[in-house]
Amino acid sequence: MEVRVRFAPSPTGYLHVGGARTAIFNWLFAKKNKGKFLLRIEDTDIQRSREEMTEEILESLLWLGINWDEEIVYQSDNLEEYRKLTYRLLEEKKAYRCFCSPEELNIRKNRAKKLKIPYKYDRTCLKLSDQEKENLISSGKPFAIRFLVPEGKTVFEDLVYGKIEFNNSEIEDFILLRSDGTPTYQLAVVNDDNRMGITHIIRGDDHLSNTPKQILLYNAIGIEPPLFAHLPLILGVDKKRLSKRQGAVSVMEFKKKGYLPEAVFNFLTLLGWSPGNDREILSRDEIIKSFSLEGISKKCAVFDEVKLDWMNGCYINKTELERLYELCLEFNYDYFSRIDKSYMLNVLELVKPRIKRLDQIINDMGYFFSEPQEYNNVSLKKYWKKDTKKYIEIVTEKLSGLEIFEVDQIEKTIRDTAEKLGISAAKLIHPVRICLTGTHISPGLFELISVLGKETVIERLKNAVDKINTSQ
Ligand code: GLU
């Protein structure tokens, strides 16, 4: 039997960490089993569904490298099918019309709340006589159609949590078709999962309470339900619900923050799944190979942004320069496209072991692309002494005399100059760095000088000496 799984987002919001993880696990399961990964847009909530959200969800999936098989299914195309199925259940007396208005239901709900008893629809309309029903229908009173939950128990074997049992008496007669003719999630999901031939439903455990309802529907329709696997909740490091700060942001936000799709993909796979050893940096192929539902934990997963940063840094460091350059363009085209490509490749080679996110190249290392406008006071206090100006002028002279402007020659020139002056090399290195970058923190100075190039270095040293001394 071919494995067929699906990801079924509602386009009422962005694709967040939880949804992305669900999509990835489904995709991995399909890949591992040489099956199909399908996409279904659950857009029956016309009020809240937005086309831009669908676009954004698709863009996010593609950014993560998740592609889907077969055509995308839009639930809004199937409205007639949902209606037909509901009326079939109605005819078979597995469903019934409910004429209770939202106001009446609210009164009952509030009453239950006051009495502190759990609310469940009280089957008022199931008790109506045929005549009463006829009268209400012909009077034009709007009605919804409810599923008649049978007595007994609903038991299923969850592929993550094991055996799960629900007493049907705890499940209310849920609505299948609303009075405006739109289907509810429960009905649409069962209809479509069946029609699409879905074999495994892998989704967040916030859907656990929907599963018995859906199994009851499968039974009523007379079809074998698919298998279910519910994924553990994702929490923040404080073990509370994910907050915006802790990663409850859209997947596209990760792109905007300078994360690599490969890193985010790898990171998300480890939210609730483990390959069974301590390895964390795994290629897509390795993940596919070792992925299994047995490897999914029952325990809540923790979204740790510090770990994501670390992992992203590892990915940046191991990414080839050409690809990293492409990623920079993808990250901020306006900024990086104005920079000469071969210069950019040199910059990337130097910075890639030291950055965790691409935005750091712009935010912390702007000196690669423009002269510092100011010089950090703390740095100056620490390293700019009485004789520094003189030393810088000497080293500028020496550097401008260099024929071959490469790391070894640059290092030798600076060290020799220090020796001749009878001072430690540090007394030159730190101030030179301040002149070139505005601070005393940067990648290795000799490499930095070689990347910036002779002309820029000489100009910056001269300008800095003027500016620093006049502002001292
Ligand atoms: N549209 C539902 C959601 O976004 C899908 C639930 C399911 O996978 O059955 O949560």
Atom index in ligand 1 nearest the CA of residue 206 equals: 10
Cα-to-centroid distance, 392 and ligand 1 (Å): 65
Per-residue pLDDT tens over the stretch 294-345: 999 999 999 999 999 999 999 999 999 999 999 999 999 999 999 999 999 9
The predicted structure's pLDDT at residue 104: 95
My answer on whether 459 and 392 are in the same domain is yes
**Residue at which a domain ends, from 177, 201, 219:** 177
- Atom number, ligand 1, closest to the C-alpha of residue 7: 8
Can you give the pLDDT at residue 47? Answer: 87
> Phi and psi at residue 41, in whole multiples of 5°?
-95, 115
59 CA → ligand 1 middle, Å: 18
- Annotated catalytic residue, options 116, 163, 240, 244: 244
Domain check: are 67 and 83 in the same one?
A: no
Position 471 pLDDT exceeds 70: no
**Residue nearest atom 5 in ligand 1 by C-alpha distance:** 8
Phi and psi at residue 229, in whole multiples of 5°? -135, 120
7 DSSP β-pair partners: 39
Which two tokens mark 182? 């739109």
Asked whether the predicted pLDDT for residue 472 surpasses 70, the reply is no
| 244 in catalytic set | yes
Q: What is the rounded CA–CA span in Å between residue 43 and residue 76?
A: 6
- By residue range, what is the domain housing residue 19? 4-72+185-235
Res. 470: pLDDT tops 60: no
Site to probe by mutation for ligand 1, drawn from 21, 207, 230 as the one with most ligand atoms within 8 Å of Cβ, is 207
Please check whether residues 438 and 393 belong to one and the same domain.
Answer: yes
pLDDT in tens, 317-326: 999 999 999 9
For position 24, what pLDDT does the model report?
Answer: 98
CA of 92 to the centre of ligand 1 (A): 28
When the pLDDT of each residue in the chain is averaged and rounded to a whole number, the result is 96
| Residue count of the chain | 472
Confidence category of residue 249, pLDDT binned at 50, 70, 90: confident
Nearest CA to ligand 1 atom 6: 8
* pLDDT of residue 99 exceeding 90: yes
Q: Are 374 and 438 in contact (CB under 8 A)?
A: yes
- Say if residues 393 and 292 touch (Cβ distance below 8 Å): no
Question: How far does residue 35's CA lie from ligand 1's centre (Å)?
Answer: 20
- Please report the pLDDT score of residue 443 as a whole number: 92
User: Residue 188 — pLDDT band, cuts 50, 70, 90?
Assistant: very high
- pLDDT tens-digit series, residues 349-369: 999 999 999 999 999 999 999
* 64 & 193 share domain: yes
CA atoms within 13 A on the CB side of 65: 15
Burial of 280 (0-12, 13-18, 19+ CB in 10 A): middle
Nearest-atom index, ligand 1, CA of 201: 8
What pLDDT was estimated at residue 303? 94
Q: Give the C-alpha separation, 194 to 216, whole Å.
A: 14
In a domain, 329, yes or no: no
Which residues' Cβ are closer than 6 Å to ligand 1?
A: 8-10, 42, 189, 203, 207
Asked if residue 289 belongs to a domain, the reply is no
pLDDT at 374: 94
Instruction: Kindly tell me if the per-residue pLDDT of 247 is higher than 80.
Output: no
**Predicted local distance difference test score (pLDDT) of residue 244:** 72
Please, are residues 297 and 272 in contact by the beta-carbon 8 Å criterion? yes
- Nearest ligand 1 atom, CA 189: 9
Residue 198: half-sphere exposure toward Cβ, Cα within 13 Å: 28
Ligand 1 atom with the smallest distance to the CA of 8 is 5
Cα→Cα distances 257→309, 337, 345, 357, Å = 11, 18, 21, 7
pLDDT of residue 449: 98
Instruction: Kindly state whether residues 391 and 454 are assigned to the same domain.
Output: yes
Q: Predicted confidence band at 435 (pLDDT cuts at 50, 70, 90)? A: very high
Query: Is there a domain that residue 403 lies in?
Result: yes
Strands of the 175-177 sheet, one edge to the other: 95-98, 144-147, 175-177
- How far, in Å, from the CA of 430 to the mean position of ligand 1? 57
pLDDT band with cut points at 50, 70 and 90 for residue 276: confident
Averaged pLDDT, 450-470:
93
Residues 160 and 96 in one domain: yes
Q: Which atom of ligand 1 is nearest to the CA of 210?
A: 9
Summarize the confidence of residues 159-181 as an average pLDDT. 97
**Of 142, 177, 212, which residue constitutes the final position of a domain?**
177
Can you give the pTM of this predicted structure? 0.93
**Residue 315 located in a structural domain:** no
Distance 337 CA to ligand 1 centre (A): 40
Q: What was the pLDDT predicted at 262?
A: 96
394-407 pLDDT, tens digit per residue, is 999 999 999 999 99
Determine the angle formed by the axes of helices 426-437 and 454-471, rounding to 10 degrees. 90
- Is residue 123, in this structure, part of any structural domain at all? yes
Task: Say whether both 66 and 88 belong to one domain.
Answer: no
Average pLDDT over residues 65-94: 97
Question: Do residues 271 and 293 lie in contact, with contact meaning Cβ atoms separated by under 8 Å?
Answer: no
pLDDT tens-digit map of 121-164: 999 999 999 999 999 999 999 999 999 999 999 999 999 999 99
Measured in Å, residue 182 CA sits from the centre of ligand 1 at 17
CATH of residue 197's domain is: 3.40.50.620
Please report, as a single letter, which amino acid is at residue 80. E
295 domain residue, yes or no: no
The distance from CA 4 to its chain's CA centroid, rounded to whole angstroms, is: 23
CATH (domain of 106) = 3.90.800.10
Tell the residue nearest (CA) to atom 4 of ligand 1.
Answer: 9
* Percent of the chain whose predicted confidence (pLDDT) is above 70: 99
User: In the chain, how many domains are there?
Assistant: 3
SS3 357: coil
Dump pLDDT digits (tens) for 443-455: 999 999 999 999 9
Q: How far is 159 from 74, CA to CA, in rounded Å?
A: 28
